[in-house]
Structures are given as C-alpha cells and as structure tokens.
Amino acid sequence: MKPGTVNNELQRYTDGKNVEVKDGKLIIEARHENDEYTSGRINTRGKHTFTYGIVKMRAKLPAGVGTWPALWMLGADIQEVGWPACGELDIMEHVGKKPGFIHSSIHNPSGYGATPYTGIVEIKDPYTQFHIYSMEWTKDFITFYVDGKKIYHYQPKEKNIKNWPFDKPFYLIFNIAIGGNMGGSKVDNSCFPTDMVVDWVKVYQK
C-alpha cells in the first residue's frame, strides 16, 4: 500500500518484512530507512471472521511522536458496501503525540472519522509494560475495556442500518501507521525502529 493512500498516512506496508513471530509473540516493527517509513499490517480477512464475542489482546505499544498503532476490526462485507457502511470497531488506538492515552471507538454511517462514539483513558507505561485491551460485543451492545476497566459503552436505543452494522461477521486487523489524520503531521524520526509486541490475542464466543 502506497503512502498517503489511506488517512494521509506516511508509511508503506511491506510484504511481511516488518512482521515476525519471535518467542511466541507477534512483533510489528515500524522503521525509517532510505528516506521512507515502512511498517506492517496483518489481518484475518478470509481466514477468521466472527460475529459477537469477547476479544482480548495483551500488548506493548510503540513509542514516539508520529506512531499510530491499532488493534481494530472491519465488517467482512467492506468490498460490497464500502466504509463506513461496513462498520469499524477500534479496540485500541494510540497516537505518539499524546503519550499514554488509549482510544476505543466505533465508526458507522451515523458517526465516522472524528466519531463521537469514542472513549479515552490514560494508562501508565504502555511501552515497556504489557496491558490488556478488550471488547465485549453482543447483539445488544459493545463495550471496551483497558486492563478490565470500562472506558466506553455503546448501546443505541433503536438499532438501524446507520447505527448498528454490527450484526454480521468482522475480521481483526493489527498495524502501526505513521503520521496521518490521527497520528499527526510531525514525526520523531529518532524513535525508529519501534515496535508493537503482541503477547496473545483471544476470542471467546458462547
């Protein structure tokens, strides 16, 4: 994916060169080399999709102004209906220009981009310590947590196609973006290479 293709981001996602599994942990590394930013993005599209359940991830995040790591989900029908009609669930987003602040958000046709459906919490040391980012998704509501603490709850009184495209299969995405609409225009090149280390991801369903 070329830089600037999505959200004005600066990185180029490589074909596996910035992703590895080491000592049982998933490592996604962002780099600045040869006057370009490279990073990794992986997803479970076509491999594992699901509807409803509890998703948990234990991870350490990359540090540095300009970094934008995320664990998120998209509706598996994105190719047919487009975004935001497919729905988006942001379990964890962090931007280096605001150290320690974790964002969990929902995007749908009734609110997307700078969505009003967002919770924010400040945590200590997300860079060298593992934290658990999770989401409970049912047919009635969606709730996000960090280390077991609830940070945002979404439950429309009356569900419709604009506010609840969340009754169908979604897939997981892990990535580190650089810059962009949320990451910001300033990037501290001295922070590279920097990585997101995922200890585990668990999905529970009844």
CA triple 196-199-205, angle to 5 deg: 115
Buried b (16+ CB within 10 A) or exposed e, 130-152: bbbbbbbbeeeebbbbbeeeebb
- Whether residue 36 lies in the annotated active site: no
Q: What is the DSSP letter of 195?
A: E
- Active-site residue, from 88, 122, 136, 158: 88
- Whether residue 9 lies in the annotated active site: no
**Sign, CA torsion 45/47/51/54:** negative
- Active-site residue, from 9, 36, 93, 122: 93
Which positions are catalytic?
Answer: 88, 93
